[in-house]
Structure 1
Amino acid sequence: MQQKRLQDKVIIISGGTKGVGRAFAEAAAMEGAKVVIGGRDVNAGMDIVKNICMLGTDGAFVYTNLLETGDCGKPFALAYEKFGRVDGFFNYAGVTPLSPLDTCDEDTFDSVMDINFKAAFFCCQHAVHYMRQSGGGSIVLTGSAHAWGGQKDRAAYACSKGALLTLMEHMAHQYAAEQIRCNYLVLGWTPTDGEISLRNSLGESEAELRKRAAAVLPMGRMCESNDYMEALIYLMSDASSMMTGSILRITSGEYI
């Protein structure tokens, strides 16, 4: 029987109760990983843990409010206490409100930077600490094509993703000798719950969103959560053990 690609690895996911984070929690479990999820939706978190256990492995959920810096270490401490190591961290948590430079208010700017960059920074601090004790590990930061300038109505979001890109390059250079890797996975335009809710608030239905996106994306459709699973499994697996400091784009051909 073929070895599962993430067999017995301990992987932490921030924002793992929704969208791509949730999909990866279950995909990683199917590949044999033990998964620890940090998030605010307790019911969704416990439901995912139940699914993970049904897949024949183990998992845990811990309530994590990333607006509180002290909460950033909770998933890592739980993973190390329960499973004795930390092998991977997928930083998925993020927000994407409208935030054009000429009208963005301070509260919106702070909320974007606090979740998308500050929380990621301190989560990575904990990831490095525990991965050192585990002999290394893989960190994947959720990137965006907005990091290279972005659209006009996403100024704060674009800045946060640009900061994450710099953080990825910093970690890749500084921790390679400790076998701690970091890569930047650029996600495309995806109809996540958050994206659909945002468009609905602006008067656009999911069907209209998909049709509009299909007309402008070079490959003719939006990316779905499952489109990212093989890349994430690869980046967390030993198959990518010599890959760090890399940018991997899965964007339906979009490049802003």
Structure 2
Amino acid sequence: MEKRLENKVIVLAGGTRGVGRAAAIEFARQGAKVVIGDLDEEAAMRVIRLMRTYGSDGHFVYVDLREIKYCKILFDEAYKKFGKIDGFYMYSGVTPVSPLDSCDEETYDLVMGVNFKGCFFCCQQAIKYMRMNGGGSIVFTGSAHAWGGQKDRTAYACSKGALRILMEHIAHQYATEHIRCNYFTLGWTATDGEVALRLSQGESEAELRQRAAGILPMGRMPEYADYLPGLVYLFSDESSMMTGSTFRMTAGEYI
């Protein structure tokens, strides 16, 4: 089997759950070495052990994205371990209920700290190291909420909208250095966080999936596996001329 990410080193913020975990494993299967920046070392090591069964390797770095120092540590450790950085995938994010008329400062700071501030300063480090390697690929986890969003996700929508602008800025300003950036818009997915939220609201995962199937134009929620080919493409040399793009996989959803 041809490995489309052979010898690449990808830094992944949030690789222990959901799409991030699935992506880490698929990147390894495609030949990449993956550095996981996360809070949960035990979960990260389980992922890394699985990655090694594909003949690849991984590395864990403890990261709290709300503190800039950890963004620097993540990339310094990645470079120290593998000697280069080819890609950065920003998967980490939080999605609490946060209507504009009732969102408190603590919730706002959490959402913007993890979803935007952490990504901003990780990109600062990614660009530093990608320059040494003649370029690289940065991918943000986007959301249809970035175009306005639902009423109970105001802070989240703002954070994803800010990421979209940051993506366009990086794409425009760093293309001459062969550093590219794209916005990978995920659809409504039954992630651990989404399921936990709905359970807290009295809705089971089965009920959630049934409700979503009636709303989404394509008739079902996207699964983790649906996203993997797109992610591999964005980090592979096949997409070397693609930057500044919004890449949607949302089952037809547009909020």
CA distance in 1 between counterparts of 2:74 and 2:211 reads 38
Structure 1 residue 74 displacement after superposition: 2.3
SS in 2 for 1:151: coil
Q: CA RMSD in A?
A: 0.8
Deviations 1:27-75 (A, max 9, x none): 0000000110010111110111111111101111111111221111222
Tell which deviates more after alignment, 164-173 or 42-51. Answer: 42-51
Counterpart in 2 of 1:211?
210
Structure 1 residue 96 displacement after superposition: 0.4
Counterpart in 2 of 1:227?
226
1:1-256 pair list within 5 angstroms: 2-256=1-255
Q: Which AA in structure 2 matches 1:134? A: N
SS in 2 for 1:182: strand
CA distance in 1 between counterparts of 2:195 and 2:62 reads 24
Structure 1 residue 108 displacement after superposition: 0.7
Tell which deviates more after alignment, 66-75 or 45-54. Answer: 66-75
CA distance in 2 between counterparts of 1:123 and 1:95 reads 17
Q: Which AA in structure 1 matches 2:6? A: Q
Q: Which AA in structure 2 matches 1:49? A: I
SS in 1 for 2:119: helix
Q: Which AA in structure 1 matches 2:182? A: N
CA distance in 2 between counterparts of 1:155 and 1:79 reads 34
CA distance in 1 between counterparts of 2:78 and 2:230 reads 23
Deviations 1:139-191 (A, max 9, x none): 00010000000001111110000000000000000100000000000000011
Tell which deviates more after alignment, 59-68 or 235-244. Answer: 59-68
CA distance in 1 between counterparts of 2:126 and 2:19 reads 20
CA distance in 2 between counterparts of 1:239 and 1:167 reads 23
Q: Which runs of 4+ in 1 moved over 6 A?
A: none
Any unmatched runs of 5+ in structure 1? none
Q: Which AA in structure 2 matches 1:77? A: D
The count of residues paired between Structure 1 and Structure 2 equals 255
SS in 2 for 1:233: helix
CA distance in 2 between counterparts of 1:191 and 1:172 reads 30
TM-score under structure 2 length normalisation? 0.99
CA distance in 1 between counterparts of 2:253 and 2:53 reads 37
Q: Which AA in structure 1 matches 2:84? A: R
CA distance in 2 between counterparts of 1:37 and 1:52 reads 11
CA distance in 2 between counterparts of 1:35 and 1:201 reads 33
Any unmatched runs of 5+ in structure 2? none
